[in-house]
Chain A
Amino acid sequence: MPSFILGRLVSLILSLIASSIVIFLVLEVVPGDPAQFMLGLNATPEATATLRTALGLDGPLLERYFTWVLGLLRGDFGISYTYKVPVSGLIADRIWISLPLAIYALALSTLIAFPVGILAAVKRNSAADVGIMGATQVGLAVPNFWFAMLLVLLFSITLRWFSAGGFPGWEDPLLALKALTLPAVALALPQASILARVMRSSLLDTLGEDYIRSARAKGLSQGQTLWRHALRNALIPVLTIIGLQFSFLLAGAIIIENVFFLPGLGRLVFQGITSRDLIVVKSVVMLLVFAVILVTFLVDITYALVDPRLRRATR
């Protein structure tokens, strides 16, 4: 197991290095000169050139790459071209919304999907199964921003239980969580639908395995067989989906953030792109890549905890 973790860790670091190079190079070749953009259309070429030097945009490629990476390691992400404040501060403000929101939505989706998926698998072809499968179909089909608007209509405007948007900050954690509840529900609906379906089909596959029959032949009841033998084996594909969903929720919540006026990472990166604030884009993308790689690493470790066959150093 230790050598397995070490091996995964090495691959994590290599992925980070590779992705930092790719992100850096891609943003080098995209059209649009930040200096030109900042000074507007009427700027003289001399002024633009001076600004480029001031921004450090005209040094050799390799030098700029290392300056950027070393800055990242120190937590110094540079100064935003448009906001004129450190990028690290911009990100820090927003990550405290996006990260809790992603975790909240994922927790909700898992809490809904597990029991529902297990129930559907165990009561296969029953009314409950048909109902659950139908509901998840709807959950997948409904666009989440529209669902978010319905939530606002019902819970904010009619019932007045939740505010319709905005974020009060973390001074009062309960109030903050309350503000994140409707967005989290809106985000969790399609995720829970996918996860419940994966859980159901994975569990059905597992319940058809020979060792389930062996367990029954030992004298275990259906319930005992499910809990002791089937569930853990059914978990591998479910974990894969959870990992993918977390990465998506962290960066992909932009529409929901807009519906609820939440200043999250998705909005930051969107504004960065429209205003050619490449340093913001570069840093946020790098951060998201880091998050995805980290989640993949954690999912890999969880795989190995669940399935002893994956614990060898190399696969």
Chain B
Amino acid sequence: MALLDVKDLQLSIGKFPILRDIDLSVDAGEILGVIGESGSGKSMTALSIMQLLPFGATTSGSIRLDDREVLGLPDAEMRRIRGGTVGMVFQEPMTALNPVKTIGDQVAETAMVHGGLGRREALEVARQTLERVELPTSRFPLDRYPHELSGGQRQRVVIAMAIAMRPKLLIADEPTTALDVTTQAAILKLLQKLVDEDGMGLLFITHDLGVIAGLADKVSIMRHGEVVEAGPTVQLFRNLQHPYSKALFEASSHVPRRVRRALGGATPVLAVDDVVREYPLPRRGLFEKHRVLRAVDGVTLRIEKGENVGLVGESGCGKSTLARAIMALEPTQGGRIAIAGEPIDPQKGASFATRRHLQVVFQDPYGSFNPRHRVDRLVSEPFHLLGSAAPSGAERDKRIARALEEVGLSAADADKYVHEFSGGQRQRIAIARALIIEPSLIILDEAVSALDVSVRAQVLDLLADLSDRLQLSYLFISHDLAVVRSITDRVLVMRAGKIVEEGATEEVFRAPKHPYTQELLAATPDLEGALAKREAAGA
């Protein structure tokens, strides 16, 4: 009898069916990976097991946990299971902890609720558990608050909360999605260690095939509330049957087709020389001098016409700050920036004429549009940079239609509002907005990071095609090395405000010179590499 046995699970919220005929099982000491894109029902499956479903949800079928039916248990019984038999870790470590309680109290709470322990004994349990997740009290005292920890450290606290009672099953819902690659690698290693030590079952939910390939014993692929394919990891990935799983596999290692051409023009579209961006830090004492944080520390880079340059680095390394400086959104404290040969004034910023050469696409396809404006108004916004030369009337409509068609939308979409579009379509609208005044350079700041793999592959194809046809240059900023590898000619690796390595993309990825680049690459989940390694180990 498996530790967790889900059979014919159906879930609907109100009238809407969410899950259909879900079958899953996890044994003690086993890791089951559940893969799916957003909306596939993977999180709802996890919440069904915990019986923490949203209001109005009805379930049928069977969820047997440790040989006991979970569906229909009264809440008092369920509370003993939650945190006791089953622990759960969520995606967003920044918000999963209560900001006004110490980490010690939050971990101890699990022990107080389940073990019937007093506060002092519970804190001792918390100390031991935090030790197990590698947050020793010598460096992370129990009276720390969540805001004093980094994202990875917070995720360790969340894991400690979940495993304090040594549950038989741990459910981890995208636990590393919000983390940097090196942090992700460390958390994955920790989860593996806990499974090995305690013989705990792990249900690991993710959208990242590379992560699952290196971790899970078996995999279930979900789509539209159904499991489309399931089996032991290597076997499953090597003989995918369902068309959707095949498409998912393709998309996650997708490399857009690009035509390499000679880079043209004597003037680079972007020239950054020795740029410095400093922020004042809060004073520690009343009379102490202002300290500064050097977020960008003497960065130099060039982008030629038609060239795609990648900028990679972990959160906080200064890559977005550098992008803001290039866009002249913030003053710089040193160095020079020139766009298409025209220098930006470090204090006053760039003129409209200079800004015309530069556009940007941001990460969040939901937050980057005014929801009250129609698509034609959103897309034509950059026209104000043209001043009196801005097209109007039929010419304006023609340009809007062309920009929309350029990104694979139709001219009729101009009359719609953004809420009528999916995430991928919104990102296309953002690209259309950037294209409409025919810039020389587009800064793509994590522009595909929020998209599902299949949509991401389409958008990458679009970007590659546009760059080829229109001789566009990109500054492609991302923490996702695989994406950067697939679309850029040259790559810069940034760390603590400095460029530590720079070179042709293929060369840097094949033979990284700087230890930090090597570390990043080693931590990056690699689907093919992980499968090959497991095959070799199995053979």
Do A and B belong to a common assembly?
yes
A residues near B, CB below 8 A? 3, 6-7, 10, 209-211, 213-221, 224, 228-229, 232-233, 306-309, 312-315
Name which residue of chain A comes closest to B113, CB basis.
A219
Please encode chain B, from 82 to 93, with 1 for each CB lying within 8 Å of some chain A CB and 0 for all others: 111001101010
- List which B114-155 residues lie within 8 A (CB) of chain A: 114, 145, 147
- Asked if B538 is at the interface (CB within 8 A of a chain A CB), the reply is no
Contact in complex: B96, A214 (CB < 8 Å)? yes
Tell me whether A217 and B92 are in contact in the complex, defined as CB-CB below 8 angstroms, given that A308-B147, A313-B283 are known contacts.
no
Q: Which of A6, A7, A233, A315 contacts B100 (CB 8 A)?
A: A233
Q: Is B297 an interface residue (CB 8 A)?
A: no
**Contact bitstring B73-105, A, C-beta under 8 A = 1, else 0:** 001100111111001101010011111110000
Using Cβ atoms and an 8 Å threshold, which residues of chain A touch B79?
Answer: 219-221
- A210 close to B92 (CB less than 8 A): yes
Q: How many A-B residue pairs have CB under 8 A?
A: 87
Structural contact, B84 and A219, CB atoms closer than 8 A: yes
Closest A residue to B284 by CB, please name it: A313
Does B304 count as interface, using CB distance less than 8 angstroms?
Answer: no
B83 contacts which of A217, A307, A312, A315 (Cβ < 8 Å)?
A: A217
Identify whether the interface residues of A are mostly helix, strand, loop, or mixed.
helix
Q: A210-B90, A211-B98, A218-B109 are in contact. Are A309 and B80 (CB under 8 A)?
A: no
Q: Does B110 contact A (CB under 8 A)?
A: yes
The contact string, 1 if C-beta is below 8 Å from chain A, for chain B 269-305, is 0000000000000111110000000000000000000
Give 30 pairs: A residue, B residue, CB < 8 Å, sorted on A.
A10-B286, A209-B95, A210-B96, A211-B95, A211-B96, A211-B98, A214-B96, A214-B97, A217-B50, A217-B52, A217-B83, A217-B87, A217-B90, A218-B83, A218-B161, A219-B84, A219-B114, A220-B83, A220-B109, A220-B113, A228-B101, A307-B99, A308-B145, A308-B147, A309-B99, A309-B147, A312-B282, A313-B283, A314-B282, A314-B283
A308 touches B83 (CB 8 A): no
A219 to B282, CA, bound (A): 40
Contact A219 B162 (CB under 8 A): no
Residues of A within 8 A of B147 (CB): 308-309
Q: Is B158 an interface residue (CB 8 A)?
A: yes
| Distance between Cα atoms of A211 and B81 in the complex (Å) | 19
Count of chain B residues with Cβ under 8 Å from any Cβ of A? 35
B82: A residues at CB distance < 8 A = 216-219
A229 vs B99: C-alpha distance when bound (angstroms): 9
Q: Which residues of B contact A3 (CB under 8 A)?
A: 285-286
Name the CB-closest residue of B to A228.
B109
Q: How far, in angstroms, from A312 to B101 measured CA to CA in the complex?
A: 16
A219 near B98: Cβ-Cβ < 8 Å: no
CB A108 to nearest CB in B, in angstroms, measures 28
Taking a contact as CB atoms under 8 Å apart, the answer to whether B282 and A214 are in contact is no
Judging by beta carbons under 8 Å apart, are B99 and A218 in contact? no
Question: A210 CA to B284 CA in the complex, in Å?
Answer: 32
Q: Considering only CB atoms, which chain B residue lies closest to A206 in the complex?
A: B98
Q: Which residues of A contact B76 (CB under 8 A)?
A: 221
Which of A211, A219, A313, A314 is B97 in contact with, Cβ under 8 Å? A211
Q: Which residues of A contact B101 (CB under 8 A)?
A: 228-229
Specify which chain A residues have a CB less than 8 angstroms from the CB of B92 in the assembled complex: 210
Inside 8 A of A313's CB, which chain B residues have their CB? Answer: 282-286
Q: A184 to nearest B CB, angstroms?
A: 32
In the assembled complex, the CB of B137 is this many whole angstroms from the nearest CB of chain A, namely: 18
Question: How far apart sit A221 and B79, CA to CA, in the bound complex (Å)?
Answer: 7
> Whole-angstrom distance between the alpha carbons of A211 and B283 in the complex?
31
Which residue in B75, B88, B286 is a CB contact (below 8 Å) of A217? Answer: B88
B396, chain A: closest CB distance, angstroms = 42
- The distance in angstroms between the C-alpha atoms of A309 and B79, with both chains bound, is 31
A232 adjacent to B83 (CB under 8 Å)? no
Q: Please, how many angstroms separate the alpha-carbon atoms of A219 and B158 in the complex?
A: 14
Q: Within 8 Å CB of A213, what residues of B? A: 52, 90, 96
Residues of A with C-beta under 8 A to B99: 211, 233, 307-309
CA distance A219 to B80 in the complex (A): 6
Chain A neighbourhood of B96, CB < 8 A: 210-211, 213-214
CB-CB contacts below 8 Å: B226-279 with A: none
Q: Give the docked Cα–Cα distance between A213 and B109 (Å).
A: 14
List of A residues within 8 angstroms of B81 by Cβ: 219
B109, B162, B284 interface centre (most CB from chain A within 10 Å): B109
- Minimal Cβ-Cβ distance residue in B for A221: B79
Complex Cα–Cα for A315 and B282 (A): 8
Task: Give the chain B neighbours of A210 by CB distance below 8 A.
Answer: 90, 92, 95-96
Cα(A307)–Cα(B102), bound, Å: 11
How far is A229 from B98 in the complex, measured between Cα atoms in Å? Answer: 7
Give A214's nearest chain B residue, CB to CB.
Answer: B96
A211 / chain B contacts, CB cutoff of 8 Å: 95-99
Question: What CA separation (Å) do A228 and B102 show in the bound complex?
Answer: 12
